[in-house]
Chains A and B, each alone.
Chain A
């Protein structure tokens, strides 16, 4: 069971007003390219974190994040101010992650299977305290369609509405997938239930 103190320690999503993002984007469109740096500074950590947890690796985080922001830079002049900038940003982030995961899966098919800790279940009790790593590993075993809403909800604290827009799917689907993701995660972590959930 997670203590209240620990909860307080966790970094909360930075609250940024829509107007702030909009005004910066307008500056950028008006030719002030340096304003883009402000947007990056404001949103980069959340983007990096989504990537980090989705990919379950820090190795590719900056590459993918850079890819995301370059895409934003190239397309920002077409931004229509009809939705939040973050919704658009996270949709790009999610899609980039999916792209990378797809590529990795393809590579895995064509590469020899190593003696595999990677595919082994958590059959033995985890002795280290790195609960974070265990949870991340467990999340990484979820199918992508369950993994993404779960990360956005339980780790990043998005509302269902935000998740629906970021993943471009219905609210009912989001609700269902979050529940199923939790159920699946619980199932994966069943062997470590005592250590993790008490």
Chain B
């Protein structure tokens, strides 16, 4: 049967002339010997020929025209769809986002928070106390209390300036200084307070007691992050207040010139309490200034751990006999970065950067987060003292000689009182007698008063040789009183029209 089937298939293929020569011969042999196969072949041929009886479909002359029209139509449709693909994609993405946010309303917030935490963590790594490296002296700490400045490196190339803007909000600046700042405020203070060596030691110890507490207040790391403890503003006030209280004890007479009303017992209690708290509360709230953001967050600086590490490092340095090279901190910031917050925004940090200053204004009430309420109680005291130190410094008159006469100028509060005494009408003899040491014809030796811009204490720079040759502090005071009498006398004479004096009072900005 199988053989028959194979033979029939061969027969069919033979009919189609699709057999190889060998099989063709084989089939022909079989056909020659089998009538039945011949009959089968004949039947197959008849069936095959039926295919020729099938009529073909009539031609379609417009087929290709219709086809090409359809293809063109599809192309246009496709291009229309393509045109809408961007919009459709956007719509789909929007819908997906809406759906996702519908069921996960906090998703973006969480992503934002995660990102924020990651960034904060990155910038908080390995923060070290820069003020340790800056090796703060008593002069530096005193300057900080009175002039709001803290050097950030031991070469004094960069320093931190704390301040309050016109509305009383805190700000800080990181400044580059081309020259070393050579303030002598502490020395001036010791001189002004007329303190002897023993008293100076007491003040030294007071200032020194803040040195360690200040160490952890400003931190930096290799990622150009600078972290400033929000307690720093309060620390400055504390040092200031502590020195005031000490000054009162050490030299009451001098102190009364700074704070005429004195410090009441109640105020002293507040000051002492505040100081105690401040010394014990380091505060873990820092303001982080990073190359790409500013944020406030808590940070625990472990000074004990740091000291341990430092001891280990020092030991290693000692063992290896390596010389510790001069440390220079180079905090850089992007000068292209201008501002990122509205000026009036009370909830954001405001940052202004130029070539050598980076100023950061703190949001309103930001510092109040530090839990030392008593600090507000001593604010008026500090303010009064600050103003009076400023006032006291400006009471020294400025004397200028001009072609027409002598111009005497002194400041009182926010006004400048200026007297010009005409040579022609001046009673030279009386002045010369009253000021035997004063060479009226060489007044140019007296340098003009040049207040420092950012200083609360006005530093006056007389010709020091001249000053020390003729005057001690008390003598100078006496001379000034004499001068005042002279001026009163001149005023009397003026009233009697004996001499002509032009006076003028000009308002100047409060320094």
A residues with a Cβ closer than 8 A to B are 1-2, 6-7, 10-11, 36-37, 40-41, 44-45, 48-49, 52-53, 58, 61-62, 65-66, 69-70, 73, 131-132, 135-136, 139, 150-151, 153-155, 159-160, 175-176, 178-179, 182-183, 185-186, 189, 196-197
Contact = CB atoms under 8 A, between A and B. Distances in A.
A62 B288 CA distance: 77
B48 A182 contact: yes
Interface string B29-53: 0000000000000011011111111
A10 B48 CA distance: 14
Contact of A182 (B12, B66, B70): B12
Contact of A178 (B16, B57, B68): B16
A61 B57 CA distance: 9
Contacts of A197: 43, 46-47, 50
Contact of A53 (B12, B13, B54): B54
A155 B64 contact: no
Tell me what chain B mostly uses at the interface: helix, strand, loop, or mixed: helix
B74 interface: yes
B9 A175 contact: yes
Given A2-B49, A49-B57, A132-B55, 19 more contacts: A2-B52, A6-B52, A40-B68, A41-B64, A45-B56, A45-B57, A65-B63, A66-B66, A70-B71, A73-B71, A136-B54, A160-B16, A175-B9, A178-B12, A178-B13, A182-B12, A182-B44, A186-B43, A189-B47
Contact of A48 (B44, B52, B55, B63): B63
Nearest to B44: A182
Nearest to A184: B47
Given A175-B9, A176-B9, A179-B12, A1 B47 contact: no
A196 B44 CA distance: 13
Contact of A44 (B13, B52, B56, B63): B63
19 contacts: A1-B49, A2-B52, A40-B68, A48-B57, A48-B63, A49-B56, A52-B56, A62-B60, A66-B70, A69-B67, A70-B70, A73-B71, A153-B16, A154-B48, A160-B18, A175-B12, A176-B9, A179-B13, A179-B44
Interface string B4-24: 000011011100101000000
B198 interface: no
B54 A132 contact: yes
A58 B57 contact: yes
Contacts of A179: 8-9, 11-13, 44
Contact of B53 (A131, A150, A153): A131
Size category, B interface: 20 to 34
B274 to A, nearest CB: 85
Interface of B: 8-9, 11-13, 16, 18, 43-44, 46-57, 59-60, 63-64, 66-68, 70-71, 74
A2 B54 CA distance: 11
A142 B44 CA distance: 16
A66 B67 contact: yes
Nearest to A178: B12
B67 A70 contact: yes
Contact of B57 (A7, A52, A69, A189): A52
Given A62-B63, A69-B67, A70-B74, A135 B56 contact: no
Nearest to B63: A44
Contacts of B64: 37, 40-41, 44
A21 B330 CA distance: 77
Contact of B13 (A37, A131, A175): A175
Nearest to A157: B51
B53 A48 contact: no
A156 B91 CA distance: 53
Contacts of B13: 160, 175, 178-179
Contacts of A176: 9
A142 B111 CA distance: 66
A148 to B, nearest CB: 13
Contacts of A65: 63, 67
A2 B47 CA distance: 10
Nearest to A139: B54
Contacts of B53: 2, 6, 131-132, 135, 196
Contacts of A153: 16, 51
A153 B48 CA distance: 9
Nearest to A9: B52
A136 B51 CA distance: 9
Contacts of B16: 153, 160, 178
Nearest to B53: A131
B50 A196 contact: yes
